[in-house]
Structure 1
Amino acid sequence: MSTISKKFVLKHTFKNVSSVIEKKSVFSEEEEHFNVPWRIYIARKDGSLSFYLNCPKSFKIGNWSVKTQIQLRIVSGYSRFLSAENTFGNTNPQKLFTSYGWAEFMNWETMTAECIINDTLEVEAHVLIEKMTGFYEENLIHFNDQELSDVMMLIGETKFYLSKQFLAAQSSYFKSLFMEKHKKTSKLGLPFIDSDDFQKLLELFHGHPVINENNVEGIVLLAKLIDSPLAKQQCEKFLVEKSKKSLKKKMQMAEKYKLKKLASFCEESLNVPVENVPVMQPKLDNVESDIPNNAQTG
């Protein structure tokens, strides 16, 4: 599966559940993940608990889509969960989705008896992003010169013709892959990598200033997976010096991707009396620390 580590968890505790008004939605706080806004909401409707994941990104800002696997969970009391696949966005005029979930997640009275503790309901949304479109800029370089390459890498459905030596110089993962494990390999598939993130990472390796708000999290995720100090440093520099992301989001990214300078920057910012500094530490998502060992040779 592509983008196996492009995932996140939304967590929220709904309070005063007994006071929820019929057919009126109650929303969690909005969070940003991979430069896309997300939130959870519940409603009481016709004797059932309705439970949805919402992506409030505007349809007016170009054509975009986010293909996901989602799992909505009740974690208080007797836990319950339901799973599904859904593509959010506006690329398909027949399926314009901003929310996905279940109108009848479970019976309201059953939920009240089995899942409510002190009039609160704890829920989670686990989201795995499989593919994103409409977020990245046009390609600056086309890696299609077969004569100057010694390996063809298949990332998703995209072929990249590259130099093993060049890649090995940028990443300890690629150094191990090409100098030790697959010295004679001329074709290699990495199904866990997103092709758009890989394209921008390669452009960064070639000296182009491609990092922006849209792609920085995808690039730093990939840089962490393949152990690329240069890419990681460039992403961290952007987050400290240029990014307009919230302090809460920067704190999350510093912890998730082990960005020490960004963590120090956030800590210093917390000591400055700024109106929009979050009062509480954010709940951080769990992430896999090891790169999947499923490179496919050809």
Structure 2
Amino acid sequence: MTVPLEDNQVTEATMKADLLGVYQKMRSELIEEMKKNQEEMLQKLESKIEDIDKDNKKSLEKLTSKLSKSNESPEKSDSSVKRFKLKHIFYNVNAFRKNVFYFSEWENHFNVKWRLMTARFGDHLGFYIFCEPIAPTDKWSIRTKNEYKVVGRNQEFVIRSSENCHRGNRGWGFPRFQEWGDMEEWFLVNGNLKVEVEITIIETVGLEKKRIRKFDESQKDVSDVILVVGNTKFYVSRTFLASQSDVFKTLLLGGFSESKQSEVTLNGIDPDDFHYFLEVLYGEFAIDDTTVEGVACLADMYDVPTAMRKCEEFLLNESKRTLKMKLELATRYHLKNLEEQCIREIRAIENVRFDVPKYDNHQTEWKVYHLNFNFDYSLGQRQYRKFNDRSS
């Protein structure tokens, strides 16, 4: 049977139309699938970008926090203030003779020697602090805020505060800090008295050591920014400081207004400490027992790992500071190698017998307390022997 030509043509056209419909459907489905995959990829990409933004925001907040603290006044900024505590246990206080001074050992803090003194003045406990420069100097002064504390057996305490300007060998404190009877009844523990003073250094004069490098106007030709600290101007390089510290990088090259200023003021910093800090950054051997604490404070404040590492290396290998002082610095600035060395030496001391826990920031206060106790115990025994020698 012969099929008419017209019907054959219609059938071929229909097949083409069907194929075109199938093709268009497949194309539409493929496009939808591609769109779906693209949307998923975009969502994943946006999620990653959000995570990166969060991390950057946290880093920026951290840097901003450091910068804001660096530009606070000395009274407001904890990280920039020179603050420390003197702690001591005076032994056999019941046996104190009237008007006789009983001293703790000297401790070095910020280029100055410090010690505590207690005495019985009539029916009252006298409580003082003394200080003097480590390096001899004719004209010097130190202005401080002091918080004196006597700690009782049940952690009761008596606190008094003062602000003083130290000159010469005169001590500052309270001749009538507390009634002697109240002190004996509530604050003596087995005849021993625990005292503390938190000292905040506001200003020092005449304590600076010899400078190795100049940052004055003579360096104007090789500097592009002036850092103003107190009444002192430091001519330095933005890019060099930025390469040493993320904080300086953000402050001097980032989006802060200071990045466009020719002079940038840094508040709450001692100019002498900042000079030695810059000397260390510029490669000078400026760290010794009189400068290490100030340099470490600024290295921590401005997040400068190179300077902090040099401080730790000095404390590990060259410093003559006491073991107690080294451990306090190690825990304050998280110097793990120094802390481990201190703990090894502590274990070697015959009269220190306690198990030191694994390195943990939460254990810092515990370790320092026990070290204070054992060192103070040793000092107290010597103090008591001296007292007995005088009595006999």
TM range (shorter): 0.7 to 0.9
Give the alignment's TM-score, normalised by structure 1. Answer: 0.81
- Aligned residue in 2 for 1:51: 127
Identical columns (%) = 34
Give the drift of 1:28.
2.7
In structure 1, C-alpha distance between the alignment counterparts of 2:314 and 2:91, rounded to whole Å: 38
In structure 2, C-alpha distance between the alignment counterparts of 1:83 and 1:28, rounded to whole Å: 20
Please tell me whether the aligned partners of residues 215 and 236 of structure 2 are also in contact (alpha carbons under 8 angstroms): no
- Aligned residue in 2 for 1:210: 286
Please tell me whether the aligned partners of residues 87 and 97 of structure 1 are also in contact (alpha carbons under 8 angstroms): no
- Aligned residue in 2 for 1:234: 310
Count of aligned positions: 276
- Aligned residue in 1 for 2:235: 161
The 3 A distance-change label for structure 1 pair 170 and 4 is closer
Larger Rg: 2
- Aligned residue in 2 for 1:7: 83
In structure 1, C-alpha distance between the alignment counterparts of 2:211 and 2:352, rounded to whole Å: 35
Please list the CA deviations of residues 236-281 of structure 1 after superposition, one character each: whole Å capped at 9, or x if unmatched.
122222222222222221111111222233344446x578x96675
Aligned residue among 252, 261, 266 for 2:342: 266
Aligned residue among 66, 73, 86 for 2:164: 86
In structure 2, C-alpha distance between the alignment counterparts of 1:37 and 1:125, rounded to whole Å: 14
- Aligned residue in 2 for 1:140: 213
In structure 2, C-alpha distance between the alignment counterparts of 1:215 and 1:24, rounded to whole Å: 35
Please list the CA deviations of residues 33-88 of structure 1 after superposition, one character each: whole Å capped at 9, or x if unmatched.
22432221211112221110122657x92334333211211232653222222233
In structure 1, C-alpha distance between the alignment counterparts of 2:106 and 2:353, rounded to whole Å: 16
Aligned residue among 76, 80, 104 for 2:176: 104
In structure 2, C-alpha distance between the alignment counterparts of 1:269 and 1:187, rounded to whole Å: 47
> What's the C-alpha RMSD, in Å, of the aligned pairs?
2.8
In structure 2, C-alpha distance between the alignment counterparts of 1:53 and 1:6, rounded to whole Å: 17
Please list the CA deviations of residues 188-247 of structure 1 after superposition, one character each: whole Å capped at 9, or x if unmatched.
221121111111111222221111121111111111111101111111122222222222
By percentage of residues, which structure has more helix? 2
Runs of 5+ consecutive residues of structure 2 not aligned to the other structure: 1-72, 355-366, 373-392
The 3 A distance-change label for structure 1 pair 249 and 134 is same
Please tell me whether the aligned partners of residues 68 and 128 of structure 1 are also in contact (alpha carbons under 8 angstroms): yes
Aligned residue among 18, 25, 30 for 2:106: 30
- Aligned residue in 2 for 1:61: 136
- Give the structure, 1 or 2, with the largest relative contact order (CA under 8 Å, sep 6 or more): 1
In structure 1, C-alpha distance between the alignment counterparts of 2:291 and 2:192, rounded to whole Å: 37
Give the drift of 1:135.
4.0
Aligned residue among 152, 165, 169 for 2:226: 152
Give the drift of 1:10.
1.4
Please tell me whether the aligned partners of residues 148 and 159 of structure 2 are also in contact (alpha carbons under 8 angstroms): yes
Please tell me whether the aligned partners of residues 144 and 200 of structure 2 are also in contact (alpha carbons under 8 angstroms): yes
Give the drift of 1:117.
4.7
Please list the CA deviations of residues 113-150 of structure 1 after superposition, one character each: whole Å capped at 9, or x if unmatched.
44445544332101011233324223521332445433
The 3 A distance-change label for structure 1 pair 175 and 248 is same
Please tell me whether the aligned partners of residues 326 and 338 of structure 2 are also in contact (alpha carbons under 8 angstroms): yes
